[in-house]
Structure 1
Amino acid sequence: MNIRQIEVFHAVMEAGSVTGAAAALRVSQPSVSKHLRLLEADLGFDLFERFGNRLTATTEAEALFHKIERTYQGLSHLSRFAESLKNHPSGETSAAAMPLLARRWLPDVVSPFLQEHAGASIALPVRSSHWIMEATASGKIDIGLVLDTGEDIDTHRERLLRIPLVCAFQSGHPFNGRDRISVSDLSGETLITLSNFDQWRLTVETELEAAGIRPTRRVDTFTTQIACELAARGSGVTVVDLLTAIEYQARGLEWRPFEPELSFDIALIRPLTRTRSRLSNELVQRLKEAATKTQDELIAAHAGDCLRSSST
């Protein structure tokens, strides 16, 4: 019994005649009759009772047809599943991000992605850049979003975003009347600093030391979100990324460009050796598209504030 014989038998049962089966399969009637006889010979029993040109299916033929129908339905389901995989890859992937991106930016990208990929599962650990780099290099994470320190790690790395640093403060602060905040303006202020961004902290500290500036006191915190929450409540001023500062504008936070101009890069990293799934590749593409849009918005916001402030 072979696939062609099964196909012919199925066509005869559906059409109800050799003539109808031959038309459906686009073959000659003798070819259909030949395959039926060969199938019966292989099975060792008759599938049809023949009365002249008429065929009547036996009980065995009905039972076989029922079984074949289930197989055909399974193949149809398999075909639809394959088409679904083509258009909407399923499976599992992971994307680890530093807190700066994990609170809002990453969910804004991942949420619609999950809606379009109903069969997909995604792990989204939030960790320090150092942890993410090590986890990605070891193949534990598919995608990492980290502060690009230039550290030589065993991953594929590409820049995703360049984010300027700005000085953020409560809306009623005297800084609100200035168009830019220089490092010397921080003298006598309570400075809210970040403990989990070594490169960021070092950059700001270097500028303070070079200018001989000492804030009145310091408030050390872990994330940019907490720094902005404190600044919005008047607990001090902080030098943070523009992405977070914009998010907190509606909560009583103001910001101004910082001098000297400082920025940092966010990198997208992936393992060098781990096999990349279609799902993770699509997520990477979505992250890049969102990053391009965000970069344009940051550039416009930073330039717009400079222009707005300088005109007042």
Structure 2
Amino acid sequence: MLSGSVTQAAMALRTSQPTVSRELKDFEQSLGFQLFTRKGRSLVPTEAAISLHGEVRRSFIGLEEIGRTAEAIRANASSHIKIVCMPAYSTTLLPPLCRDFLRSNDSIRLSISALGNSVLANGISAQHYDLCIIEADLGFAGWTSTSIHAGEQVCIAPKGHPLTRRQVLTPADFEGVDFIYFSAEDMYRRKLDNVFREHGVTRRLRMEVATAASVCSLVSLGVGVSIINPISALHCLDQGVEMRRLSFSIPYTVRLHKNQSTRTPRALDAFAESCIEAVANMQRQVQQRLDGPAAILHAV
């Protein structure tokens, strides 16, 4: 599958070409179907071979994970928390949270998988993870959920954009403005569309993307403005982007889903508590940035 020929496979395995040919023939006979077809000197995998190769790779990944776990146990890192999250959190919420958590928990190791909703759901239903951090509720048995209020959705715009002259933006302010949309499947996209529809406001659709990171990059390049979650907005403020409040409320919620069958319940509870604190801290930072000089003057 990797080398494309018997000769190259033999060299990689440090054996002879006849040995590889014989083993391959015996393997095909035991399986009952052909794995490769010849094309000149090359071997082209059949669809059956490609499917089988996927299963074999997953098995090897499982064996590698066993090896990593054994190595971690030998190094006294016996608690392993497997986290799955939406892509936005893997680059915003989780990096500083994991850094701070690991500094005070030397015997715990973490792994993060950032996945789309469909793949994520399959992994959760198969109990592959200890903690799931997403926006949506889960309907799977064996998981406990905690909802964390993370503030309100906010507008982000390129520095110097006309909308940044206002501290609070109304729906009417977005009339005819170049706007970057999330995909139609996004739960907050639907809420936003309803708000603007109720106010008779038409935004100018410039791009439609799937992730908050893409929205932030496009806004920083001046393609348009958008309305996103406060966690991602806070993260992109150093990219030539400004943040503004909305006159209408769209609360944003982070949901933690804990696997009740986890083998490390105490470590998982500790990390979940750290996550709740991190979201609360980010919410305070967003409020401070939105208040700006007024907040400093009030504090003085």
Under TM normalisation by the shorter chain, which class is it? 0.5 to 0.7
Aligned equivalent of 1:205: 193
SS in 2 for 1:209: helix
Partner of 2:147: 159
Query: What is the one-letter code of the residue matched to 2:96?
Result: D
Once residues 280 and 227 of structure 1 are traced to their aligned partners in structure 2, the CA distance between those partners, rounded to angstroms, is 32
**C-alpha contact 1:133 1:144 (8 A) present in aligned 2:** no
Max radius of gyration: which structure? 1
* Structure 2 residue runs without a partner (length 5+): 1-72
1:100 maps to amino acid: A
Q: What residue number does 1:215 align with?
A: 203
1:175 aligns to what? 163
Hey, what's the Cα distance between the residues in 2 that align with 1:122 and 1:267?
19
Aligned residue in 2 for 1:256: 244
Residue aligned with 2:253, SS: strand
Asked if structure 1 preserves the Cα contact closer than 8 Å seen for 2:150 and 2:280, the reply is no
Please tell me whether residue 242 in structure 1 is matched to residue 230 in structure 2. yes
C-alpha distance in structure 1 between counterparts of 2:294 and 2:249, whole Å? 16
Q: Tell me how far 1:133 sits from its aligned partner.
A: 4.6
Contact 2:167 2:244 in 1 (8 A): yes
Counterpart of 2:188, as a letter, is W
Distance 1:118 1:147, change over 3 A: same
User: C-alpha separation between the residues in 1 aligned to 2:206 and 2:159?
Assistant: 20
- Could you tell me how far apart the structure 2 residues matched to 1:97 and 1:197 are? 17
Aligned to 1:192: 180
Structure 2 distance, partners of 1:305, 1:116, is 33
Shift of the 161–130 alpha-carbon distance from structure 1 to 2, 3 Å rule, reads farther
In 2, Cα distance between equivalents of 1:160 and 1:135: 23
Of 200-209 and 210-219, more deviation after overlay is shown by 210-219
Which residue pairs with 2:128 in the alignment?
A: 140
Comparing 259-268 with 246-255, which one deviates more in the overlay?
246-255
- Which residue does the alignment assign to 2:216? 228
Identity %: 17
Give CA-to-partner distance per residue, 1:8-27, whole Å, 9 cap, x none: xxxxxxxxxxxxxxxxxxxx
TM-score by length of 2: 0.65
Cα shift at 1:267: 0.5
Question: Quick check: 1:268 aligned with 2:252?
Answer: no
Read off the aligned partner of 1:99 and give its amino acid letter: P
Are 1:279 and 2:273 matched, yes or no? no
Q: Is the 8 A contact 1:137 1:272 kept in 2?
A: no
For 2:145, what is the secondary structure of its paired residue? strand
In the TM superposition, residue 208 of structure 1 has moved relative to its aligned partner by: 1.8
After superposition, the CA RMSD in angstroms is 2.7
Structure 1 residue runs without a partner (length 5+): 1-84
Report which stretch shifted further, 285-294 or 233-242. 285-294
SS at match of 2:244: strand
CA contact (8 A) 1:109 1:290 kept: yes
Instruction: Tell me, yes or no, if structure 1 residue 295 matches structure 2 residue 283.
Output: yes
Q: Deviations over 1:261-298 (max 9, x none)?
A: 21221110012444444332332232233233223333
Distance in 2 between the 1:196 and 1:211 partners? 20
**Aligned twin of 2:81:** 93
Which AA in structure 2 matches 1:266? Answer: V
Report the TM-score when normalising by structure 1.
0.63
Q: 1:217 to 1:96 in 2, by over 3 A?
A: same
Structure 1 residue 137: deviation in Å?
Answer: 4.1
1:4 — aligned with what?
none
Could you tell me how far apart the structure 2 residues matched to 1:250 and 1:205 are? 28
The one of 107, 110, 113 aligned to 2:98: 110
CA displacement 1:68-121 (0-9 Å, x = unmatched):
xxxxxxxxxxxxxxxxx9xx8633220112122110320111123334444543
